[in-house]
Amino acid sequence: QVQLVESGGGLVQAGGSLRLSCAASGSIFRINDMGWYRQGPGKQRELVATIGSSTNYADSVKGRFTISRDNAKNTMYLRMNSLKPEDTAVYYCNAVVRLRSWSSPLTNYWGQGTQVTVSS
């Protein structure tokens, strides 16, 4: 019913920049909070940034990454500047969505993940 499609991942040199996008589609009444998570090699999945009534960032990316959203397009972005090799991970889009109407429950959805690789 809801699809989250990510784009913008790839290979970049340390110090470079990337912009990730996550486009939501389907029978969406309202998207509440959205966020980006990542999972590096041999690591657990961790929160990168969220956006709702306010924004929150992991300490490791604060000052370098910027999360934003375009509600008219149901799209979320993550601008990643000053990338470091430790940012290498699969990045996942997450959205909390209410389907169809106010009577529908809030449901958590995940994207498929997109690989970001930062070379040294």
User: What is the H or E stretch that residue 3 is in?
Assistant: strand 2-7
| pLDDT for the residue 4 | 96
Look at residue 71 and give its three-state secondary structure.
helix
Alpha-carbon gap, residue 34 to 5, rounded angstroms:
13
Q: Please give the chain's pLDDT, 120 residues, in tens.
A: 899 999 999 999 999 999 999 999 999 999 999 999 999 999 999 999 999 999 999 999 999 999 999 999 999 999 999 999 999 999 999 999 999 999 999 999 999 999 999 999
Q: How far apart are CA 64 and CA 80, in angstroms?
A: 6
CA gap 94, 14 in Å, rounded = 26
Measured distance CA(117)–CA(27) in Å, rounded: 33
